[in-house]
Amino acid sequence: MKPPRFDYHEPTSLEEALDLLQRYGEDAKILAGGQSLMPLLNSRLSRPAALVDINRIGALAYIREHDDQLRIGAMTRQRAIEFSPLVRERLPLLGEATTLVGHLAIRTRGTLGGSLVHADPSAEYPAVVTALDAELVVRRPGGERVLRPAEFFVSYLTTALAPDEMLVEVRLPAAPSTCGWAFEEFSRRHGDFAIVGIAAFLLTDGERCRVARLAAAGVGPIPIRLRAAEEILEREGLTEESLEKAGARSAESVEPDSDVHASADHRRHLTRVLTQRALRRARAGSQRGRA
Ligand X SMILES: Cc1cc2nc3c(=O)[nH]c(=O)nc-3n(C[C@H](O)[C@H](O)[C@H](O)COP(=O)(O)OP(=O)(O)OC[C@H]3O[C@@H](n4cnc5c(N)ncnc54)[C@H](O)[C@@H]3O)c2cc1C
- Measured from the Cβ of residue 29, the count of other Cβ atoms closer than 10 Å reads 20
Residue closer to ligand X by CB (options 1, 291) is: 1
Give the footprint of ligand X on this chain (CB under 6 A).
29-37, 74, 101-102, 106, 109-111, 113-115, 117-118, 123-125, 161, 166-167, 193
Tell me the closest approach of the beta carbon of residue 119 to ligand X, in angstroms.
8
Full DSSP string of 109-142: H-BHHHHHHHT-TT-HHHHHHHHTT-EEEEEETT
Residue closer to ligand X by CB (options 55, 69) is: 55
Q: d(Cα 1, Cα 38) in Å, to the nearest integer?
A: 11
Residue closer to ligand X by CB (options 74, 203) is: 74
CA nearest 156: which of 185, 186, 126, 129?
126
Q: d(Cα 113, Cα 171) in Å, to the nearest integer?
A: 12
Backbone angles phi and psi of 93, in degrees to 5: -60, -40
Tell me the closest approach of the beta carbon of residue 80 to ligand X, in angstroms.
12
Tell me the closest approach of the beta carbon of residue 41 to ligand X, in angstroms.
9
Residue closer to ligand X by CB (options 108, 178) is: 108
Tell me the closest approach of the beta carbon of residue 5 to ligand X, in angstroms.
18
Yes or no: say if 178 and 290 are a contact pair by the CB < 8 Å rule.
Answer: yes
Tell me the closest approach of the beta carbon of residue 276 to ligand X, in angstroms.
22
Largest CA distance in the chain: 61
Tell me the closest approach of the beta carbon of residue 213 to ligand X, in angstroms.
19
Residue closer to ligand X by CB (options 123, 215) is: 123
Residue closer to ligand X by CB (options 160, 228) is: 160
Yes or no: say if 184 and 169 are a contact pair by the CB < 8 Å rule.
Answer: no
